[in-house]
Chain A
Amino acid sequence: MAVAKTERDYFPYMLLIPASAVMIAIVAYPLYETFRLSFTNTTLSQNYEYVGLDNYEKIMSRRFPEVIARTFYWMSLSVALKMLIGTVGAVLLNAAVPGRVLFRVLVMPPWVIPIAIGVFIWGWMYNGQFGMISGMAQRIGLIDGPFEFLAYKNSAFYSTIVTDVWIGVPMVTLYLLAAMQSIPKDLYEAAWVDGASRMYRFRRITLPLIIPSIATMALLSAIATFNSFDIIWILTEGGPRNATTTMIIDTYKTAISRFKYGEGAARTVMIVMFLGCFTLVYFLLLNRLAKRSPHNAK
């Protein structure tokens, strides 16, 4: 720094005080507290004992491994669909056709509105008696009678995924669209002059250059999906018969609905461990990308 004092400079640390204070109070300390609680049998009352690894043994011996597997299946399917639809959407919106400015504006609403409200609308559409999807399916003759999407294990599972995809797609689309638009135009012109077809240009220029963005977005999207609470809670509260109970939902039910804070905290610690792995992969990825194109590092 140009006007740096010769002494150690505390000014930048001072600037970080407000943000750090909030982070310590709302994130760091609660994380530590979760870790501590996970070794106790805390419930509603203020008295508790340390019970060692009891909570962890309890959850590993019961149906929690199943919940973990379900969470990963839910997440993988949802992220795969988001990336697929988002990439196709970005390619379409990137096409230089009349009306594209308007189309780009129209993509975003599911992302900017409160998640819960979007989910209310889906709740109505999944309604079997009177909802749109069941009604339409009956009209075209796909099903004979009304179908209650949220009442059966499989259909409820996939319905929550569809809603999650709907909420996540706009962000993926616009992110990848921005990545595509940052590709220098002369690359395409040069290829065009050389007689490369549109498909060839996409395969050899667009795709390789947006792969890093796709990877980054897939990871961010996986993390967001892993943390997802509102959608499942509003549509099914984890039901029917736990078919949509992910780790987050299971934790919430254990701790907030049944007041078993200790057991809930043990579940949270597992979640944090998974999220930690994702975060690590994310940083490694960013690091590699930054190294590969040094001028983009900042």
Chain B
Amino acid sequence: MLNKYRWYEYVLIYAGLAVFLTFVLAPFVEAFVVSLRPLSSLFSVPYKFITDEMSFDAYFTMWENVPLLWMYMLNSFFIATVITVLGLFCIIPAAYAFSRFEFPARNTLLGLFIAVNMFSGAVLIIPLFRLMQQYGLLNTYFAMIAPGTAFVIPTGIWLLRSYLVRIPKELEEAAWVDGAGRIYTLVRVIIPVALPGIVVVSITAFITAYAQQFIYALTFNSVNELNPLPVGLFQFFGRQEVVWNELMAASLVGILPVLIVYVFLQKYIVAGLTAGAVKE
């Protein structure tokens, strides 16, 4: 048969997969093991992967040693959520315009939006820093939310546009014939039909926003209470005596929400990631 492998081919494939997945997952396993080991055994030489006295202690003590840990996590969530909502508010009408209407400069404008993807926050950090300073926006949530929003919009437009072009035009035409306004048509006809596409865009935007908070928070914010998780933990990382087991425990707890979201919605995420890839 076409997909039948011989035994040595199975061995080769599984061996290859084992090496590949070890590279991808080893850091997580190591982080988990470290979070279970008491500090004294962490700093023991020679290196041991497994030690005797493993416990979940670090998961309890970290809340005392990193008193703002809850805040950091909530901040990360809050920032990513607001970015997603604001992003959708910009993405949906824009994607609708690009997928449905013929207008001069359409392709140029779409190209410009896509080109924004080629920049990162790091490129714009100087003028943004000065602008925020000038308007007294440093050390606010806004300073971390605004740049994040700008960088989820291009991908979102691209993803949603490719979804919207597949929705039959007759749907809107029927609504117009019935006398519905155009905004009404978008909100009550198009958005409900496009919901699966919007879900993909939202998840992609949320994960991007959750993953890329570091540089804005590091640069624009110095109020610890407002810090998202990566920057909150970075302060501990930078110290001379890093409490590694607690840092690893806190990191793992911090990535747990996205991993849970990922496990349940991975189909959508992979779709969102690869939609533009195959058919562009």
Contacts and interface: CB of A to CB of B under 8 A. Distances in A.
Interface of A: 1-3, 9, 11-20, 22-23, 25-27, 29-31, 33-34, 37, 42, 85, 88-89, 92-93, 95-97, 103-118, 120-125, 129-132, 134-136, 138-139, 146, 166, 169-171, 174-175, 177-179, 182, 188-189, 192, 198, 213, 216-217, 223-224, 227, 229-230, 233-234, 248, 251-252, 255-256, 261, 264-265, 268, 271-272, 275-276, 278-279, 282-283, 286, 289-290, 296, 298
B126 A95 contact: no
Which 9 pairs across A and B sit closest by C-beta, in order of nearness?
Answer: A135-B47, A116-B230, A227-B120, A26-B150, A178-B274, A30-B127, A15-B97, A33-B127, A12-B101
Given A1-B101, A31-B124, A179 B277 contact: yes
Contacts of A279: 115, 118
Interface in B94-120: 94, 96-97, 100-103, 106, 109, 111-113, 115-116, 118-120
Nearest to B255: A113
Interface stretch (B60-68, B194-202, B206-214): B206-214
A177 B274 CA distance: 9
14 contacts: A2-B176, A3-B176, A26-B146, A26-B150, A89-B20, A96-B3, A114-B229, A118-B27, A121-B31, A256-B126, A261-B126, A264-B126, A265-B127, A286-B280
Contacts of A93: 17
Contact of A106 (B24, B45, B278): B24
A175 B94 CA distance: 25
B55 to A, nearest CB: 18
Contact of A9 (B103, B214, B242, B263): B103
A216 B186 CA distance: 33
Given A22-B90, A112-B269, A268 B214 contact: no
A246 to B, nearest CB: 10
Contacts of A174: 270, 273-274
B31 A108 contact: no
Nearest to B259: A109
B153 interface: yes
Chain B residues touching A, majority SS:
helix
A72 B36 CA distance: 40
A26 B124 contact: yes
Contact of B118 (A97, A124, A177, A282): A282
A33 B259 CA distance: 39
Given A12-B97, A34-B126, A112-B207, A189 B2 contact: yes
Contacts of B49: 132
Interface in B123-163: 123-131, 146-147, 149-150, 153, 157, 162
Given A9-B101, A116-B234, A85 B23 contact: yes
Interface of B: 2-3, 5, 9-10, 13-14, 16-17, 20-21, 23-25, 27-28, 30-31, 34, 42-49, 76, 86, 89-91, 93-94, 96-97, 100-103, 106, 109, 111-113, 115-116, 118-131, 146-147, 149-150, 153, 157, 162, 165, 169, 172-173, 176, 182, 186, 207, 210-215, 218-219, 229-231, 233-234, 237, 242, 244, 247-248, 251, 254-255, 258-259, 262-263, 266, 269-270, 273-274, 277-280
B217 to A, nearest CB: 9
A189 B231 CA distance: 53
Nearest to A256: B219
A124 B119 contact: no
B13 A113 contact: no
B116 A23 contact: yes
Nearest to A42: B130
Contacts of B278: 178-179, 182, 213
Residue of A89, A103, A117, A182 with highest tally of chain B CB at under 10 A: A117
Contacts of A129: 43, 45
Contacts of A33: 127, 130-131
A216 to B, nearest CB: 7
Contacts of A139: 46-47
Contact of A124 (B31, B121, B146, B172): B31
A219 to B, nearest CB: 10
Given A15-B93, A95-B5, A298-B279, A230 B215 contact: yes
Nearest to A26: B150
Given A2-B169, A130-B43, A234-B237, A261 B130 contact: yes
B20 A114 contact: no
Given A26-B128, A175-B277, 14 more contacts: A2-B169, A15-B101, A18-B93, A26-B149, A27-B124, A30-B128, A114-B229, A116-B214, A124-B242, A124-B244, A136-B47, A213-B278, A230-B212, A275-B118
Contacts of A234: 214, 234, 237
B165 A30 contact: no
